[in-house]
Structure 1
Amino acid sequence: MQNRYLEYFNESPSLFIKFKSNSNKIEYITNNVTTLLDYTLDEVLDSSFSFENIIHKGDYKVIKKELEELNSSNEIELSPYRVLTKNSNYIWVKEIRKKFYDNKTNENHICSYISNITKEINLKKNLFYTNKIIKTVYDNSVHLIALLKPNGTLIKANKTALEFINKDEKEIINKKFWDTNWWDESQKQIIKKDIKKASKGNLVHSEKKVFDEYYIELTIKPVYDENRVIYLVCEGKDITQAKKKEKRINHYNEIINKQLISITNKEGVIKECSDAFCELTGYDKNELVGKKHNILKHSNNSDEKYKDLWETITLNKTWKGKLKNKTKDGRAFWVENIITPNCDENGNIESYTAIYNNITRNKKIKEKLITDELTNIYNRRYFNKIFKKYYKRFQKYDENFVLMIIDIDYFKQYNDNYGHLKGDEVLKDVAQTLKLNLRKCDYVFRIGGEEFAILISINKHNVSKIIANKLKEAIYNLNITHEFSFYKRLTISIGVKQVNKKPLLKNKIEIFNDADKALYKAKQNGRNRVFTFLDT
């Protein structure tokens, strides 16, 4: 029987120790000392081993006083204390010590029962700190927190919530959460439904208006005890400023969307654009985003203008200019454009913002003022302006140019015999043919009845005559019948004045007269000719 008891003690989680009378020397100890303290039986039964030496010094001061009480009692449960294992780890233990006598008066030995309670101590410690953290979070949370019964009765509210509603806790305890003065009547029934839903185990999340002027983001969370909801935690986040900011942003977005604005990445791919910009271009936003602005590019724009644009903005400078664009259905529109680079905190360009001013109406009015109504090319008024600009550039920068004066041969006879309607058609055909056979940067004007003028920037000598002959041949190749002309078809005569000699003593009138004299010579020499005026 005794062996069976010993077997039980050796396998027990509790350590049994028998101390020598009035000492910390161990007389007997169960085998499980190795499991609990990592020591072997021989090590702890050695005369040099003292149990006192493995007790934490701070804890020993406490239990030493408690052990003195054994003098007046036969059994004592010591306060939990730490002992150092052979592997240098402290574990918490609980100990009960008892006195045993050989007879009623003579003390013989002391026995101890020691259990490892490290897990329990750590759990208590963790629970303590967890509760402390929860209390700290609860008391100091920036959010509004209230604890409810599943039926919606208020049990508790944190400091932030009470300050927000300007109430003492005792004023709201035991009230129904929906039956309080911070909700308006329209919301009370909604809150009641939310509480009912949460009490069934659902997480309820919504935005609510409080006191008719504040906004909160309200979350109602169920708390379970096994499978039963025992509490509801209401957490409210004050989003009043965020809502006001959102309203301001929406207001600004409405304003922005009424403006003509687009934003691109640094490669020129559209990232965002306003509603007004979409309306102007005729494209939906999803048709523009991800595309480059060249889908709007009109063929009349020069490549030099776009080159200047990109050279400017890639140097982190603002570009300003006017561009002709086309809508989705091909209609032309004009914009005054300001493109501004957007940089990151290191000054590196990351995107561009383009702001547009629709100047199509003004441009159309201006174009009407400078356009010949019949032929749809530039008129005499615009010729005077551009001729003046060419002349000034020549004087200031030595930029050479060519003036050509063109006349349709025997046009009066064509008009008289084929009629004015046919004559108008011929004027249109000649005007468009001249325009198509020139560069985009060159100008062609109708300056009189059947008289046209051309201005060309040119540097190479004699190139002007080649261009003039090309134009003459283009009209000839239209093969328009003119039985009352020497050539039996429509022809033109061209007078050329190349302005490339300095110092130039002539003024604009003299230059024009020189080109006109050259035209006269071309007509005098049989028409359908090019004649160049040479300075002598």
Structure 2
Amino acid sequence: MKKNIAKYIEQFEQTLNFSDLSWWIIDYKNDPGYFYCNKVMANTFNLDINAQKHSVVDTCPIAGDYIKNVHLASTNKANLIIKEYLELLNQEKKEYNNTFPYYDKNIDTVKYFSSKAKALELDEEGNVSILFGLIENITSKETLSKELKEYHNIIDTNVMTATTNTKGIILNCSSALCNITGYSKEELVGQKYNILKHPDTSEKVFEKMELALAKGEIWENEIKNQKKNGEEYWIKLIVSPIFNEQGKIKAFTTINQDITDKKIIEKLSKKDKLTNLYNRAKLDILLEKELQTFERYETNSSIIMLDIDYFKSINDNYGHLIGDKVLVQIASILRSNTRITDFVGRWGGEEFLIICPNSDIENTEKVASKLKDVLEFSDFGMKKNVTASFGISSYKENDTVDTLLQRADNALYNAKENGRNTVELIP
């Protein structure tokens, strides 16, 4: 049964005016240029609250003020709402549901509203005769949504994060992670997280991580990773489990902090720049640590001090560049012919020091003799052979680092006095 617009207005005032929703209605057949609305809408959009009806062109928040202030939003948005309004009139759609911004001149602020509309009645020819709509203030929701988008954009741009499933497959990642790794998001999503693992990083590190995560614990460590172009970088990796409603782990989130610069500084602080061996400062720390281990556990530990014979003549005859190459090659020989548990360093100039944990003086002497022979018969690209003199000492009761070093230095002095290219020891 058809109603006239007055009946609808009466019905809406009885049923809808208890809420903070704005409603409007248009007698499109008889009076299409005007709309009726409740007091909520009149107050919200600064309309004349005493007026019985309002001009669509002059006062409708969409058709009026919105278009006048369209610079506050995109023109396409305004056109879209008007297009959908016309589609509703032409019955190309039964209803529309859209959002629009509104500039409130009284408080100099842009507000946001959702707008819904539909045809309530058609005339005898099937044309729209009465239109009805609801408008809801969604400013708080829209503002929160914008703030969340901005927050997520800040996180995406500046924080290296990723989400993986329980099998380590990357489900999502931030732009910041893509930027440092050189991979696009499309290249990372769907891959196992270890696509970023550097070959030098032990699998045992990740085994420990998996054990911790399986217990629901948060795991963190410093990891060396590899970019798409093969370049290495260091991160502090924090991995946290994500639980479902049943308390079971459904995924993991990772936060990566770039600590490459920190690692470079650490390396520079403990490594000799030319040979990449431990420098003297680091050797001092290792000697003290080894002395503490000896005092606590009475383990056999020894040191080897060696000096390149007649190194000054190499620099004088071949130049300092060749001299540096000789030092680099010697460093490589020392690393290759000692145990992985030994600490090899450059003590200064052409002098080197090797700390041999859990090695008595007899075994350490064998190591020194081997190194002496390898050096003597190595090809350094010069007409002359390169040799070295060796002094050995072992930790003993009541030792200090200084007394240990002094005995090794005295043994080295004896080796030079005894013709060089030889090994001497002072227990």
Cα deviation digits, residues 293-335 of structure 1 (max 9, x gap): 5444445555665555555454444445444444333444444
- Taking the aligned partners of 1:355 and 1:364, their CA distance within structure 2 comes to 21
* 2:304–2:354 CA contact under 8 A, matched in 1: yes
**SS across alignment from 2:345:** strand
Shift of 1:371: 3.1
Letter of the structure 2 residue corresponding to residue 286 of structure 1: E
**Residue 361 (structure 1) aligns with:** 261
How many residues are aligned here?
395
- Taking the aligned partners of 2:340 and 2:195, their CA distance within structure 1 comes to 20
**Residue 100 (structure 2) aligns with:** 208
* 1:154–1:172 CA contact under 8 A, matched in 2: no
Which of 382, 386, 389 matches 1:490?
A: 386
Shift of 1:451: 1.5
**Residue 420 (structure 1) aligns with:** 320
**Residue 180 (structure 1) aligns with:** 60
Shift of 1:430: 1.3
**Residue 240 (structure 1) aligns with:** 139
Question: Residues 386 and 353 of structure 1: is their aligned pair in 2 closer, same or farther, counting only changes over 3 Å?
Answer: farther
**SS across alignment from 1:447:** strand
Which of 192, 196, 200 matches 2:86?
A: 196
- Taking the aligned partners of 2:301 and 2:216, their CA distance within structure 1 comes to 35
* 2:100–2:115 CA contact under 8 A, matched in 1: yes
State, as a whole percentage, how many aligned pairs show the same letter: 30
Moved more, 521-530 or 373-382: 521-530
Letter of the structure 1 residue corresponding to residue 163 of structure 2: T
Shift of 1:249: 0.9
Shift of 1:528: 5.7
Shift of 1:445: 1.2
Show the 5 A alignment for 1:301-316: 301=201, 306=206, 308-316=208-216
Shift of 1:254: 3.4
Cα deviation digits, residues 277-301 of structure 1 (max 9, x gap): 3333333333333444544444555
Check if 1:229 corresponds to 2:229.
no
Cα deviation digits, residues 337-379 of structure 1 (max 9, x gap): 4444444455544444444444433443443343323323322
Letter of the structure 2 residue corresponding to residue 455 of structure 1: I
- Taking the aligned partners of 2:281 and 2:101, their CA distance within structure 1 comes to 67
Letter of the structure 2 residue corresponding to residue 148 of structure 1: I
Check if 1:286 corresponds to 2:186.
yes
- Taking the aligned partners of 1:150 and 1:304, their CA distance within structure 2 comes to 75
**Residue 390 (structure 1) aligns with:** 290
Question: Residues 274 and 172 of structure 1: is their aligned pair in 2 closer, same or farther, counting only changes over 3 Å?
Answer: farther
Letter of the structure 1 residue corresponding to residue 150 of structure 2: H
Check if 1:429 corresponds to 2:329.
yes
Question: Residues 262 and 136 of structure 1: is their aligned pair in 2 closer, same or farther, counting only changes over 3 Å?
Answer: farther
Show the 5 A alignment for 1:253-264: 253-264=152-163
Gaps of 5+ in 2: 1-11
Shift of 1:219: 3.7
Letter of the structure 1 residue corresponding to residue 101 of structure 2: K
Show the 5 A alignment for 1:318-337: 318-337=218-237
**SS across alignment from 2:348:** coil
Letter of the structure 2 residue corresponding to residue 454 of structure 1: I
Letter of the structure 2 residue corresponding to residue 490 of structure 1: V
* 1:178–1:192 CA contact under 8 A, matched in 2: no
Question: Residues 361 and 150 of structure 1: is their aligned pair in 2 closer, same or farther, counting only changes over 3 Å?
Answer: same
Question: Residues 468 and 276 of structure 1: is their aligned pair in 2 closer, same or farther, counting only changes over 3 Å?
Answer: farther
**SS across alignment from 1:252:** helix
Shift of 1:216: 1.9
**SS across alignment from 2:87:** helix
Letter of the structure 1 residue corresponding to residue 344 of structure 2: V
- Taking the aligned partners of 2:267 and 2:320, their CA distance within structure 1 comes to 26
Letter of the structure 1 residue corresponding to residue 111 of structure 2: Y
Which of 386, 397, 404 matches 1:511?
A: 404
Check if 1:448 corresponds to 2:348.
yes
* 1:262–1:270 CA contact under 8 A, matched in 2: no
- Taking the aligned partners of 2:340 and 2:135, their CA distance within structure 1 comes to 67
- Taking the aligned partners of 1:424 and 1:402, their CA distance within structure 2 comes to 28
Higher relative CO (Cα under 8 Å, sequence separation at least 6) belongs to: 2
Moved more, 245-254 or 287-296: 287-296
**SS across alignment from 2:162:** strand
- Taking the aligned partners of 1:418 and 1:455, their CA distance within structure 2 comes to 31
**SS across alignment from 2:69:** helix
* 1:156–1:169 CA contact under 8 A, matched in 2: no
- Taking the aligned partners of 2:339 and 2:41, their CA distance within structure 1 comes to 76
**Residue 479 (structure 1) aligns with:** 379
**RMSD value, Cα:** 4.5
Which of 148, 159, 165 matches 2:26?
A: 148
- Taking the aligned partners of 1:314 and 1:412, their CA distance within structure 2 comes to 60
Shift of 1:505: 2.7
* 1:300–1:324 CA contact under 8 A, matched in 2: yes
Letter of the structure 1 residue corresponding to residue 405 of structure 2: F
Question: Residues 193 and 275 of structure 1: is their aligned pair in 2 closer, same or farther, counting only changes over 3 Å?
Answer: closer
Moved more, 420-429 or 373-382: 373-382
Query: What is the TM-score of this pair, normalised by structure 2?
Result: 0.71
* 1:406–1:451 CA contact under 8 A, matched in 2: yes
Question: Residues 528 and 381 of structure 1: is their aligned pair in 2 closer, same or farther, counting only changes over 3 Å?
Answer: same
Question: Residues 158 and 303 of structure 1: is their aligned pair in 2 closer, same or farther, counting only changes over 3 Å?
Answer: same
Shift of 1:392: 2.8
Cα deviation digits, residues 220-247 of structure 1 (max 9, x gap): 4456748543443434444322211112
Question: Residues 326 and 404 of structure 1: is their aligned pair in 2 closer, same or farther, counting only changes over 3 Å?
Answer: farther
Query: What is the TM-score of this pair, normalised by structure 1?
Result: 0.59
* 1:414–1:482 CA contact under 8 A, matched in 2: no
Check if 1:277 corresponds to 2:177.
yes
* 1:372–1:378 CA contact under 8 A, matched in 2: yes
Shift of 1:252: 1.5
Show the 5 A alignment for 1:13-52: none
**Residue 5 (structure 2) aligns with:** none
